[in-house]
Amino acid sequence: MTNTGNGRTAKLEAGHNQVTELQIMSGSVGPDVIDIRKLYAQTGTFTYDPGFTSTAACQSKITYIDGDEGVLLHRGYRIEDLAEHCDFLEVCYLILYGELPTEAEKAKFVHGVTYHTMVHEQILNLIRGFRRDAHPMAVLIAMVGALSAFYHEDLDINDPHNRMIATYRLIAKMPTIASLAYKYSAGQPFMYPQNRHTYAGNFLHMMFGVPCEPYEVDPVLAKALDRIFILHADHEQNASTSTVRLVGSTGASPYAAISAGIASLWGPAHGGANEAVVQMLGEVGSVDKIPEFIKRAKDKDDPFRLMGFGHRVYKNYDPRAGVLKSSADEVLELLGQGDNPKLAIARELERIALEDDYFQERKLFPNVDFYSGIILEAMHIPTSMFTAIFALARTVGWIAQWNEMVEDPEQKIGRPRQLYTGPAQRAFVPMDQRG
């Protein structure tokens, strides 16, 4: 539990009270926070922080990031260790329950997830209502939102059992829904999940299998994909997670809250960056064109940014990018694509950018999206599915954070304030007197 910073306070001169004392709170690691909850009542002033660069919106025990050191911990465990030693469902268990599972606990969890993977047949009909060229993220937003219409009983979010069923359902059905979205766009028959496969293997089966012949899951691909899932599982209070918490804070259905999280993830500044990176590497085309793109990225009059570079929190190498960089080398070698031109461009782009003053001064390093797209593309996953895969993997983080929020006694409906800059009250002007 948070302590109150050993009685330390911050003093603030503002508003109608000359000096206001604000309590300082400490977490287990990381920066202290100043508790401003009573600031308005005491001083009549708000704080101003668009983009929440200095605002802790909640307490959480799930994920810790030290952006200066490039450290990411889930429940205290380093992401590098989890990526090396665990599979995705083991990490899901850890994120949800706070501890690594025993063998029996893991088996029970895997069984629970495996037996929730099918979706209601009406979901297939809903997907058939889309245009064939619908982006999979649009389909995902709609279908996950639609789950709220199928599972009314989950609307009692105060029942922990109901919350856990919703949690299992979401983790289990996301790969099914994402692959259905892909199959529909490809004009191929929908594939049902098969319980004999692993979580990642099942996704590959539903993506690439066809009913007319058996599909053998390549264990190398399944492991590489599973690792990508692990690296995207949670990332504390990012835009999409904060969206899930904000929607959830109103008491809305968890399916609606996760659907909103998927919408938030879609943008190129967030999860959409993996798709944008591969497009960018394609545009760069060859190593000799890199300086031209670096120049554009530095030009303030050019909206172009180096996609997959920079992060709000990391001012050091994103540890997930580190794991993915070695994974990319390994996987592409195993797939016989060691000479993949995009990987060569990415490596060289990274090298040049990291030596450049502009990137050094601003502490811009590769983030998780820089190498993930290259691996996914080498696995023949279409670009439009990259962010859907991010969403699939992030679902555990979203739902764990939603559960934590619902259980938090300090939780309130999220309701930011504003600095109003519009007109003050004025007299109404009838139409014939306007202009």
Q: How far is CA 71 from CA 76, 144, 317, in A?
A: 11, 32, 9
Q: Which is nearer to ligand CMC, 184 or 386 (CB)?
A: 386
Task: Kindly identify the residues of this chain, within the stretch 220-239, that bind ligand CMC according to CB under 6 A.
Answer: 238
Q: Which is nearer to ligand CMC, 154 or 318 (CB)?
A: 318
Stretch that binds ligand CMC, among 155-163, 300-308, 326-334, 425-433 (CB under 6 A): 300-308
111 catalytic per annotation: no
Q: Give the one residue of 61, 156, 269, 380 binding ligand CMC; rule: CB under 6 A.
A: 269
Q: Which is nearer to ligand CMC, 259 or 367 (CB)?
A: 367
Q: How far apart are the C-alpha atoms of 327 and 178, rounded to whole Å?
A: 23
Task: Kindly identify the residues of this chain, within the stretch 273-292, that bind ligand CMC according to CB under 6 A.
Answer: 273
Q: How many angstroms from the chain centroid is the CA of residue 321?
A: 14
Give which of 417, 376, 378 is closest to 393, Cα–Cα.
376
Task: Kindly identify the residues of this chain, within the stretch 72-101, that bind ligand CMC according to CB under 6 A.
Answer: none
12 pairs with which residues across the strands? Answer: 20
* Six-digit token string for 117: 């993977």
306 in contact with ligand CMC (CB under 6 A): yes
Residues 116, 135, 197, 311: which is the catalytic one?
A: 311
Q: Give the one residue of 175, 308, 319, 373 binding ligand CMC; rule: CB under 6 A.
A: 308
Residues 68, 369, 380, 408: which is the catalytic one?
A: 369
305 in contact with ligand CMC (CB under 6 A): yes
Q: Which is nearer to ligand CMC, 111 or 362 (CB)?
A: 362
β-strands 71-74, 63-66 pairing: antiparallel
- Ranked by CB distance to ligand CMC, the top (closest) residue is 310
- SS3 assignment, position 73: strand
87 catalytic per annotation: no
Q: Least distance in Å: CB of 3 to ligand CMC?
A: 30
Locate tokens 């910073």: which residue?
5
Q: Which is nearer to ligand CMC, 312 or 351 (CB)?
A: 312
Q: Give the one residue of 74, 163, 183, 311 binding ligand CMC; rule: CB under 6 A.
A: 311
CB 270 within 8 A of CB 386: no
**By CB neighbour count within 10 A (0-12 exposed, 13-18 middle, 19+ buried), where does 423 fall?**
exposed
149 in contact with ligand CMC (CB under 6 A): no
Q: Which is nearer to ligand CMC, 107 or 269 (CB)?
A: 269
Alpha carbons within 13 angstroms on the beta-carbon side of residue 187 total 1
> Total number of residues binding ligand CMC (CB under 6 A)?
19
* Six-digit token string for 313: 């929190």
Q: How far apart are the C-alpha atoms of 4 and 286, rounded to whole Å?
A: 55
Per-position DSSP letters for 139-180, written without gaps between them: HHHHHHHHHHHH-GGGG-TT-HHHHHHHHHHHHHHHHHHHHH
Q: Which residues of the chain form contacts with ligand CMC (CB under 6 A)?
A: 238, 269-271, 273, 297, 305-312, 362, 364, 367-369
Q: Which residues are catalytic?
A: 311, 369
